[in-house]
Structure 1
Amino acid sequence: MELNFPVQAKILKPVAEVFDAVYNPKKLASYFVTGGASAPMDEGTKVMWEFADFPGAFPVYIKNVKKNEKIVFEWEANDGTGQGAGYNTTVTFEFSAIDANTTQVKILESGWRDPNKFLNAAVGNSQGWMQMVCCLKAYVEYGINLRKGFL
């Protein structure tokens, strides 16, 4: 059994604007990576993400980018207790224009090993991705940072 729990949301903005809110480090830091992102999500680069509610920076390895369509990256899996699991998972963001002013965003994290050992970590990350897509929606549609004061 492969562990992956896709999340998705419709965002009432054009696909280019939604894509840029994930790709652009300044915008990403306005609603998700509360400690900042070191660079844009360019293919072949390593970007450091920091969260105010989790200690330390997380390296994010950008594997594939298709402007306004997809961002794929890898980062270290956690073991369910917040510690590194010693291998990477793959996170895929897909952006689809439903019409000129509506975008479907899908997020899927895959590559979890040993379903019995990493189930809690996989479920926890899927909850985090759902929070991220909700924060993205609030930021892009209304300019609101839902993570401000959240934890």
Structure 2
Amino acid sequence: MAVRKIVTLGDSGDKVLREKAQPVDKITPQIQKLIRDMTETMYRAQGVGLAAPQVGVSLRVIVVDTGSNLYQLINPEIVAREGEEKGREGCLSIPGVWGEVVRAASVLVRALTPEGREVSIEADGLLARALQHEIDHLDGILFIDRAEKVYEGQ
């Protein structure tokens, strides 16, 4: 495993943050290594989620860990949303900035695991918010695009 550089808004290579990521057609050893590297990078940065575009790779891969389980997901998609909640969000790609963002209160996400197994995840609370935030990254959407208010600092 290796820690990868996190692309931040304003970097010379930050265009990847605004691109729609490509689906993963085949789970290869390189994809599995990317997922391991992303996981290590997320933990090292003390984040709760990371999308492949945030490490400069335009593929539909995310990792999320809000404290109860590690989710490593390939080609995730939200297939159902319910309710609405406003909450505070930040992003490893936009350090020092946070905002108030309205998201679905609960979601159903379908994806593949690194082993190629199909999974469905029913999530609410922080996990639902993190999944929506990371899946947005795969579509080139940043939390600041959805925020009602944006703040700098802690």
TM-score bucket (shorter structure): under 0.3
Normalised TM-score (structure 2): 0.27
Q: Which TM-score applies when normalising by structure 1?
A: 0.28
Going by fraction, where is strand more abundant, 1 or 2?
1
Q: More relative contact order in 1 or in 2 (CA 8 Å, sep 6+)?
A: 1
